[in-house]
Chain A
Amino acid sequence: GAVVSQHPSRVICKSGTSVKIECRSLDFQATTMFWYRQFPKQSLMLMATSNEGSKATYEQGVEKDKFLINHASLTLSTLTVTSAHPEDSSFYICSAPLAGDLSDTQYFGPGTRLTVL
């Protein structure tokens, strides 16, 4: 149980285009999901908290107009990188906790490798 998927696993796009990444909880409902960015050989940096039915909460320094988050259902959150530029190239990972699990355990998706040319 507690499987999280991401789609696509890898995407290459041209500078200036927008890219949408999906994060799905396959066997549980997730009222909250998290989006992280990981640069090569670095740790995960939390970008934003996605809340079902309400606005996302962004971490300091993350542009909310550039990284659009939509949590339209209890099993799906999407991250759209708008007007992508080469510096947005990174590994994007989502995670979700089990609702009611007070241990705060998060289950991670397999990640999406974004390359902006």
Chain B
Amino acid sequence: AQSVTQLGSHVSVSEGALVLLRCNYSSSVPPYLFWYVQYPNQGLQLLLKYTSAATLVKGINGFEAEFKKSETSFHLTKPSAHMSDAAEYFCAVSAGSNYKLTFGKGTLLTVNP
């Protein structure tokens, strides 16, 4: 079984500030981990993924995430928030070749001018 916990359903930052969105996972096998972004009334866009290669993963739009096995975490960061980053962010885990993703509840990121 696998699960994802996203701490904080809503995160608010100022433009130019650090973005930190937290994700902890549980998996009985080595996981694949993903961050997706969803803009209003749209589908999900892949930001980045961890697939057992480098633990620090760089994604699109300046985002990156670090896989920490000891902490079972995969937190998403961006050094400087932009207004266009305002969206819902989902962390997801997959634990095998069955392709099923288990999503966290999502974190709404608000960026204040």
A108 and B44 contact, Cβ closer than 8 Å, known pairs A43-B90, A43-B106, A44-B90:
yes
A90 at the binding interface (Cβ < 8 Å) = no
Contact A104 B43, beta carbon cutoff 8 Å: no
Instruction: Determine how close the nearest CB of chain B comes to the CB of A70; give it in whole angstroms.
Output: 19
Query: A84-117: which have CB < 8 Å to B?
Result: 91, 93, 95, 97, 102-111, 113
- Bin chain A's interface residue count: 20 to 34
Residues of A within 8 A of B106 (CB): 42-43
Contact B105 A105, beta carbon cutoff 8 Å: no
Contact A106 B99, beta carbon cutoff 8 Å: yes
Contact A104 B41, beta carbon cutoff 8 Å: no
A104 and B42 contact, Cβ closer than 8 Å, known pairs A43-B104, A44-B90:
no
> What DSSP secondary structure best describes chain A's contact surface?
strand
> What DSSP secondary structure best describes chain B's contact surface?
loop
Instruction: Determine how close the nearest CB of chain A comes to the CB of B50; give it in whole angstroms.
Output: 9
- Known interface pairs A91-B41, A106-B99, A113-B41; 5 further A-B residue pairs with C-beta atoms within 8 A, sorted by A's residue number: A49-B100, A103-B32, A104-B96, A105-B46, A109-B43
Residues of B bordering A, CB below 8 Å: 32, 34, 36, 41-46, 49, 51, 90, 94, 96-97, 99-101, 103-106
Can you pick out 26 interface pairs between chain A and chain B where the beta carbons lie within 8 Å of each other?
A4-B43, A32-B99, A34-B100, A42-B105, A43-B105, A44-B44, A44-B90, A46-B100, A49-B100, A93-B44, A95-B101, A97-B99, A102-B51, A102-B97, A103-B32, A104-B99, A104-B101, A105-B34, A105-B46, A105-B49, A106-B101, A107-B46, A108-B45, A109-B43, A110-B43, A111-B42
